[in-house]
Amino acid sequence: MRNETAGKEVEMSKTIKQGWLRIEREPLTDIVGGVWLVTLLLGLLHLPSVIA
C-alpha cells in the first residue's frame, strides 16, 4: 500500500513539473509579443514623417 502511494506521488510531481515548465515558457512569448507590438505602434506613429 505504501509503495503504491509513493509511486502516485512521484507521477504527480512529474506531472506538476511538466506543467510548470510549460507555464514558464508562456511569459517569454508574452514579453516578445509585447515588445513587437510596442515597436510596431511606435513605427506607425512615425510613419507620416517618413512619408512626408
- Look at residue 38 and tell me whether its pLDDT is greater than 80: yes
More confident residue, 15 or 1: 15
DSSP the chain: -HHHHHHHHHHHHHHHHHHHHHHHHHHHHHHHHHHHHHHHHHHHHHHHHHH-
C-alpha cell at 28: 517569454
- Look at residue 33 and tell me whether its pLDDT is greater than 60: yes
Q: Which region among 10-14, 32-36, 42-46 has the lowest average model confidence (pLDDT)?
A: 10-14
Place of cell 511569459: 27
pLDDT tens-digit map of 3-32: 566 566 667 666 666 666 666 667 788 888
